[in-house]
Chain A
Amino acid sequence: MIALIYDSLLKLQLIVFKPEKLDWFDELEEEILKWEGTTVQLHKFGGTQFNFQNRELGHLHSNGVLDILFSKKIKAELMADGKVSEHHVFNKSGWVSFQIKAYTDVKRALELMQLAYHRAQK
């Protein structure tokens, strides 16, 4: 619950200082929900969780950090390209983090989520 409250405070901060970011997050969610078999739910640590057939693909915190689960091999490739960073907590897993700072990052976030989605489909 504390994580959900923290995420709400981040939303409160966004609505004051960068309200357009909430629209970007909605856009990302709407695009992902167009992919067959995807659903969203609240993430246990705050933010929006994206699922494919009830398995988590990733989640977006309200500070703009998108966490996505890949295999360690794909993670290594993405890290080598400098496209993502280590997950902000679980840095020894396949989780990666991508920070949405500008509107152009939404497109990149969608590409990463698509990669996770195609991987999950296999």
Chain B
Amino acid sequence: MKTFLNKRLLGFIIPNFIVITIIGINKMINPLSGGVLVFSEFVILPILMGIMSSWFWKALKVKSGSLVGYSILNGVIAILLSFIFLGEGSICLIIVSPLIFAFVITGAFLGRAMFNRNHKTLNVSFVTLLLAIFIVDSISEHHYENMVSDELIINAKPDKIWKNVVAFEKIKSPDQYWLFKVGMPSPMQTTVTANEIGAGRKCIFSNGYTFDEKIVVFDVNKNLTFDIVNQPQDPEIMGHIDIDRGQFILKDNGNGTTTLIGNSWYKLHVFPVWYYDLWAESVTRNVHLRVMDHIKVLSEK
């Protein structure tokens, strides 16, 4: 009974210890990564964690339901360790959790199948292959840029909308997007130092964090483009995403309405992009829409 209990516990402790150590060592020997979190840290390591756990649990004949439950617990421990030792933000961890759970479960069932067959050469080869992928992926260059565009019709002419695009007073309407409701900062206010190219602009978020911007195109009633020159050192975004540029385009529809287009360009530093870009697009889109809806309300008064 004692051995069984120990093996069960070791299936949680050892894989988590090994994985957090690998991430720590990887950060130490690869400091130029600048906080980039690669595909293998979210995919290969959780799979390895699941495989290692299954090795400890192989003698316990763990049922499938328990294996899924234990894997979720393992994922929760890994997420908590990331929060404590890697300084990740809580919203980031909400975003990452489905991916971690899915890959830890996959690893656990892979491991169970591997150790049931007990083909040692094959098992060692497979784990070595996963480690090789991890190393190659960790030292490889990762680069991803994207642009998100949204548009909205406003029942006003561009000259009435323009001043609200350049700067606007505090948004008082309640947040609609679920991530804003659970604590992700939402855009609140924009200020500007002057109405000209080169002027400073600030986008202030609900938690007080500020994006410092510099106006690079100031085409009155048509185009406001600004580069982000400084973004807040928030653990939710620091090292994960760089917002590079924002833009508002106003198109006069000739019937008293205007199409307002909001564009944002960003670099993503978390991989795999097929997962994280879904979130980045969703968050960017909801930042756009919160601001653009506010501009619409102010302009249609």
Give A contacts to B, CB under 8 Å.
4-5, 7-9, 11-12, 14-15, 19-20, 22-23, 25-26, 39-42
Q: How many Å from the CB of B237 to the closest CB on chain A?
A: 26
Give B contacts to A, CB under 8 Å.
63-65, 68-69, 72, 98, 101-103, 105-106, 109-110, 113, 116-117
In the bound complex, what is the Cα–Cα distance between A15 and B68 (angstroms)?
Answer: 7
Contact in complex: A23, B103 (CB < 8 Å): no
Q: How many Å from the CB of A74 to the closest CB on chain B?
A: 29
Known A-B contacts A4-B106, A8-B102; A22 and B68 likewise in contact (beta carbons under 8 Å): yes
Q: From A9, which residue of chain B is reached at the shortest CB distance? A: B102
Contact residues in B for A41 (Cβ distance below 8 Å)? 113, 117
Contact residues in A for B64 (Cβ distance below 8 Å)? 11, 22-23, 25-26
A-B contact pairs, 13 of them (CB 8 A): A8-B106, A8-B109, A9-B98, A11-B68, A11-B105, A14-B68, A19-B65, A22-B63, A22-B64, A23-B64, A26-B65, A41-B113, A41-B117
Q: How many Å from the CB of B245 to the closest CB on chain A?
A: 33
In the bound complex, what is the Cα–Cα distance between A8 and B102 (angstroms)?
Answer: 6
Q: How many Å from the CB of A68 to the closest CB on chain B?
A: 20
Q: Tell me what chain B mostly uses at the interface: helix, strand, loop, or mixed.
A: helix
In the bound complex, what is the Cα–Cα distance between A52 and B132 (angstroms)?
Answer: 34
- Given pairs A5-B103, A40-B116, A42-B110, 14 additional interface contacts (CB within 8 A): A4-B110, A5-B102, A8-B105, A9-B98, A11-B68, A12-B102, A15-B65, A15-B72, A19-B65, A22-B68, A25-B64, A26-B65, A41-B117, A42-B109
In the bound complex, what is the Cα–Cα distance between A24 and B62 (angstroms)?
Answer: 14
Q: How many Å from the CB of A50 to the closest CB on chain B?
A: 12
Contact residues in A for B69 (Cβ distance below 8 Å)? 15
In the bound complex, what is the Cα–Cα distance between A20 and B117 (angstroms)?
Answer: 26
Contact residues in B for A39 (Cβ distance below 8 Å)? 117
Contact residues in B for A12 (Cβ distance below 8 Å)? 68, 72, 101-102, 105
Contact residues in A for B98 (Cβ distance below 8 Å)? 9
Contact residues in B for A40 (Cβ distance below 8 Å)? 113, 116
In the bound complex, what is the Cα–Cα distance between A39 and B113 (angstroms)?
Answer: 10
In the bound complex, what is the Cα–Cα distance between A15 and B108 (angstroms)?
Answer: 15
In the bound complex, what is the Cα–Cα distance between A40 and B113 (angstroms)?
Answer: 8
Q: From B64, which residue of chain A is reached at the shortest CB distance? A: A22
Contact in complex: B113, A23 (CB < 8 Å): no
Closest 7 CB pairs of A and B: A22-B65, A8-B105, A22-B64, A8-B106, A15-B68, A42-B113, A8-B102
Contact residues in B for A15 (Cβ distance below 8 Å)? 65, 68-69, 72
Q: From A11, which residue of chain B is reached at the shortest CB distance? A: B68
Contact in complex: B117, A5 (CB < 8 Å): no
Contact in complex: B63, A23 (CB < 8 Å): yes
Contact residues in A for B117 (Cβ distance below 8 Å)? 39, 41
Q: How many Å from the CB of A60 to the closest CB on chain B?
A: 11
Pick the most buried of B72, B105, B110, B117: most chain A CB atoms within 10 A of its CB. Answer: B105
